[in-house]
Structures are given as C-alpha cells and as structure tokens.
C-alpha cells in the first residue's frame, strides 16, 4: 500500500468521524423537537379537549415512550457536541442502551397503532394530533436512531432490556384496569383491550409483539453498524506488513492527538482492534506506536512555533 493511499485512508477516517458527530447532533435535535411536540400535543389534548387533568396523559404509553425518547436524546447530545470538537463520536454502552430502549418503545407504539388501534378505532389512532404522535413522530425518531452510528452490536440481553418499559407499563395497566377497575378508582380500559381479548391472552401477546419489535430494531441496527464498519475499514488494503501496520497505528495516534486535549484523550480501540485482527497482531502491538504517535502530536502542539 503506497503512502498516498494511506494518507487518503486517514483523511477519510477523520472526515467520517466528524460527519458522524454532526449527523448524531442533527438527529438528536430532531428527536428532541419531535418528542417535545408529541408530549405537548398529548397534554393539550387531554387538558383542553377532554377536560381532564393533564397527568392523565401519562397513563398512555404513547406519552411515556416519547418521554423516554426525549430523555435518551438528552443523554446523547453532550457526546455528539464533544464528538464534533474531537472528530470522534463515541457513546458509552449505557447511553447506547438507553437510546435503544427508547427507540424500541416508540417503535412499538407505531406498530401497535397501525396493527390494532387503527382497525378498532381509527379516530383514536389518527384523530386530531394523533397521526403525528402515533405515526409521524415515531417513524422519524426510529429512522433517526438508525442514522446515529453508535458502533454497538445489540445482544439478546439488549433485546430483553428493550421491552422493560412496556413490561412495567403492562403490569401497571393490568393492576389498574383489571384488578382495580375503573369503577373502583382504577384506569379506564384506554386501549379497549378487554373488548376484544381476555387480559390473560392480550398481555402475553402484547409482550411477544414488543419483543418482536425489539428484535427487529436490534437486527436492523446491527446490520447497519456492520456495513458501516466494513466500509470504514476498506481504507486499509490486505497487503500491509507488520511494520506498515505499526506505522498506521502511529499515524492514527497523531490524528487522535490533533483532536484531543492532553487530559482527555479518546482511544479508537475499535479501529486498532480491527487492524490487529486483520493483520495477525495483538492490540498491544499497536497500542505502543499509537501512544507514541499521540505523545508526539501532543508535544508538537505544546512546542512554541
């Protein structure tokens, strides 16, 4: 591999990492705006149109899922801003998990509305602002989730985690609607579940459907992540010898030094691990030249010109 191609690969990587951060920031601002719109519209409809306490809105899973989307966005935004400054967008595992759970919750709302409520009660599904809160906002939020390159591969545990909010809501709904009942101060059957199926059937079916949505979101996200990684790593050909790979690690270290502060350095371990596996080296073999390149760049920046 010649020097020109190596340089092109590193320049591409720098641009790509910065672009990921910008896309993440734009998507998260969009999610935040859509989530707040959904929450405000739902509360207004409950308070003004139905003449009930605005808190009643939070008995609907639609509003709960939009609230989760807004909270997960608040977690991601600081990392997107930091990524633009350092040209590397990295999410901690817990933030990626929270983002995934929110995406699953709001995707389930859309699927449930389209599959069931739209047939049983079209007015509840699409009347007033419900087209926006039940379909348009969830659709755009899920698409935005797939656009954000968090780099994580979601496992079976993550898929189970994705249904936790709906599982908790289902348990509360069962207690309020079935065990207590509206006549005794519990919730009304907001989703008309008992009009169509016994609770003993409806609840397991709903949980299975939610798990199916969680699995679909995880599989699509994993597939997109793998394709993006393959595209990124195509910048390194298969004809590098161990010395050239170490030179690449040194150059990546210098690139990291250009984008980091001395007291807050981000290590692209995923890239180093890929290079090590591809060329039959250990990660430790590449960490040494990476750190050397990083230190060289940081010292050059501190030296007076």
The confidence score (pLDDT) of residue 111 equals: 92
Range of the domain at 268: 240-300
Mean pLDDT of the 99-123 span: 87
Same domain membership, residue 87 and residue 122? yes
Average pLDDT over residues 91-103: 88
Does residue 305 lie in a domain region?
Answer: no
Looking at the 3D structure of the chain, how many domains does it have?
2
Take residue 41 and report the two structure tokens written for it: 């519209």
141: pLDDT strictly greater than 90: no
Could you tell me the pLDDT band of residue 152, with boundaries at 50, 70 and 90? confident
pLDDT of residue 119: 81
Q: What is the rounded radius of gyration, in angstroms, for the C-alpha atoms of the chain?
A: 24
pTM of the model: 0.76
Mean of pLDDT over the chain: 80
pLDDT-based confidence at residue 7 (cuts at 50, 70, 90): very low
Task: Spell out the long-range contacts of 86-91 with Cβ–Cβ below 8 A and sequence spacing 24 or more.
Answer: 86/259, 86/260, 86/266, 87/14, 87/17, 87/18, 87/21, 87/259, 88/17, 88/21, 88/256, 88/259, 88/266, 88/268, 89/17, 89/20, 89/21, 89/24, 89/149, 90/151, 90/266, 91/150, 91/151, 91/152
pLDDT for residue 216 is more than 80: yes
Q: State the average pLDDT over residues 95-109.
A: 91
Domain identity same for 173 and 269? no
Residue 204 domain-assigned (yes or no): yes
User: pLDDT value at position 255?
Assistant: 75
Residue 225 lies in a domain: yes
Per-residue pLDDT tens digits for 31-55:
788 878 878 877 777 665 555 666 6
76-88 pLDDT, tens digit per residue, is 888 777 767 665 5
Q: Please, are residues 191 and 117 in contact by the beta-carbon 8 Å criterion?
A: yes
Residue 274 shares a structural domain with residue 141: no
The domain boundary residue, chosen from 184, 199, 232: 232
Residue 9 forms part of a structural domain? yes
């Amino acid at each position: 591999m010649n020097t020109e191609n190596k340089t092109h690969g590193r320049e591409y990587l720098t641009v790509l990492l910065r672009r990921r951060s910008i896309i993440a920031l734009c998507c998260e601002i969009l999610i935040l705006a859509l989530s707040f719109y959904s929450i405000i519209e739902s509360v207004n409809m409950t308070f003004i149109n139905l003449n009930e306490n605005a808190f009643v809105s939070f008995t609907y899973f639609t509003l709960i899922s939009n609230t989760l989307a807004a909270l997960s966005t608040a977690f991601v935004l600081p990392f997107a801003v930091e990524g633009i400054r350092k040209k590397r967008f990295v999410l901690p595992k817990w933030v990626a998990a929270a983002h995934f759970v929110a995406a699953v919750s709001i995707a389930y709302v859309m699927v449930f509305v389209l599959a069931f409520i739209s047939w049983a009660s079209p007015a509840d599904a699409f009347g007033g602002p419900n087209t926006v809160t039940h379909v348009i906002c969830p659709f755009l939020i899920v698409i935005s989730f797939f656009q954000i390159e968090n780099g994580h591969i979601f496992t079976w545990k993550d898929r189970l985690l994705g249904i936790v909010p709906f599982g908790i809501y289902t348990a509360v709904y069962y207690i309020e609607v079935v065990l207590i009942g509206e006549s005794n101060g519990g919730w009304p059957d907001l989703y008309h579940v008992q009009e169509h199926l016994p609770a003993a059937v409806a609840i397991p079916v709903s949980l299975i459907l939610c798990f199916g949505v969680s699995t679909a979101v995880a599989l699509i996200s994993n597939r997109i992540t793998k394709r993006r990684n393959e595209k990124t790593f195509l910048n390194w050909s298969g004809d590098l010898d161990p010395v050239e790979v170490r030179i690449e690690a040194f150059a990546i270290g210098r690139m990291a030094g250009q984008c980091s502060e001395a007291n807050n350095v981000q290590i692209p371990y995923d890239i180093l691990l890929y290079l090590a596996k591809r060329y039959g080296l250990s990660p430790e073999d590449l960490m040494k030249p990476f750190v050397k390149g990083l230190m060289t760049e940081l010292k050059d920046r501190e030296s007076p010109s």
